[in-house]
Structure 1
C-alpha cells in the first residue's frame, strides 16, 4: 500500500534534473524579438520597428537590480505586437512555437464565451508548429491564425483537418 502514490499521474514520472529550468518566459520573449528582427530585415520599416518596440513590455527589475522573470501576459503582448508588425510590413508571421503555444493556451483558457463555445470539447493544433492542447476532435490552423482567432482578431475559426 505504501507504493500507491507511484500509480498517480503526477507522481509516476521518473525523476529528472530540473535545475536548469528557468522561471518565466524570457527565452520565448527573446525568440519573439529575434523573429521580429528577421521580419524587419526582410521588410525594413523604421516606423513599424518603432511601433513594435513601443508595444513591448518594459523590462522589470527587482529592488536589488536583478531582472524579474517575464510573465505570460508580457509574452502575450509581445506575440501580438509581432503579429501586428508582420501585418503592417506584409511579412508572413513565423511565431516562435513555444511562445505561440503558451500564448494560445493562455488565451484559450481566458477566452470570451463565444470563442470558448467554438473550441469547447476539441483539441487545438497548430499546423506549422509542434504543439497542440485540449481533448476531443482536432481543430487546426496555423499558429498565427489560431492566435488571431483566440485573441478575437479574426472570425476565421480553426477547422477539422482535411482528409
Structure 2
C-alpha cells in the first residue's frame, strides 16, 4: 500500500513521524505537465476541438487553462483576474472561464510550448508548489485524455495525494461521501474514507471526487 499520509500536512494525518513530509510538489507538477504536453503535441485539429470532461470546455480550452493557471506567476494570475473583472464587469466565478478561454485562443503549438516552459520552471524549483497546483495538473490532465481515449498516467503518490486533499477539503457532499465509504484504488494501492469499501481505479476515484463521474 502507498503511504499517502506521509506527504500530507499535519492537520490531515496521524502520528508524530515527520520523516519524508513535503509540501513541495513541484517535481510531480513538472512531470505531469511534461506528460500532458507530450499528449497534446500529438493531437489532430479535430482532437483539439473536441469536448473535454470539464463542462463547457474543449480540449483546447483546458490546455489554455493549464497554461494560464499553472504556468503563470501568482502576480500574473492576480493581474489577469482583476483586469477581467474590471473590463468585463464579471463576477469572480466567471473570471477563470473567461481568462482560460482567452488563453486558449493561442495556437496549439504555443500552448504546448507554455506547458513545457512551466514544466521546466517547476523542475528548477520555481513556480507554485502546493497540492492545489498538482490537483490542477492531474484532474485537468484527465479532462483532456479520457474523452480522447488516450493514456495519461500519474503516479500512485500523485493520484493519492489529489484524492486525499479533495476528501479533506472538498465540498460538503464530497466529505459526506468519504465519511461513510472507503474508496480504494486497486491499481495504485491507496484508499480514502471510512466505512464499506468500494474498489475502482485511481483515475475513476479522482474523476468521481471531482464531479466528472456520477458513480465510482
Is 1:91 the equivalent of 2:150?
yes
Show the 5 A alignment for 1:59-78: 59-60=72-73, 67-78=126-137
User: What TM-score does the superposition give when structure 2 sets the normalisation length?
Assistant: 0.52
Is 1:10 the equivalent of 2:15?
yes
Is 1:154 the equivalent of 2:213?
yes
Structure 1 residue 26: deviation in Å?
Answer: 0.8
The higher-RCO structure (CA 8 Å, 6+ apart) is 2
State the alpha-carbon separation in 1 of the partners of residues 184 and 171 from structure 2. Answer: 20
Structure 1 residue 45: deviation in Å?
Answer: 3.6
Determine if contact 1:75/1:103 at 8 Å carries over to the other structure: yes
Unmatched segments (≥5 aa) in structure 1:
1-8, 159-163
Compare the two structures and name the one with the higher helix fraction.
2
Unmatched segments (≥5 aa) in structure 2:
1-13, 50-58, 76-124
CA deviations 1:132-152 (Å, max 9, x no partner) are 233333222111111111001
Where does residue 131 of structure 1 map in the other structure? 190
Where does residue 114 of structure 1 map in the other structure? 173
Is 1:29 the equivalent of 2:26?
no
Determine if contact 1:55/1:78 at 8 Å carries over to the other structure: no
How much is the aligned-residue C-alpha RMSD, in angstroms?
3.1
CA deviations 1:37-74 (Å, max 9, x no partner) are 45447x53463785554222125489xxx724411211
Q: How many residues align?
A: 140
SS where residue 180 of structure 2 aligns? coil
User: What TM-score does the superposition give when structure 1 sets the normalisation length?
Assistant: 0.66
Determine if contact 1:105/1:133 at 8 Å carries over to the other structure: yes
State the alpha-carbon separation in 1 of the partners of residues 15 and 179 from structure 2. Answer: 25
Structure 1 residue 91: deviation in Å?
Answer: 1.0
State the alpha-carbon separation in 2 of the partners of residues 119 and 135 from structure 1. Answer: 6
Out of 70-79 and 130-139, give the one that drifted further. 130-139
Structure 1 residues 28 and 117, CA gap change in structure 2 (3 angstroms)? same
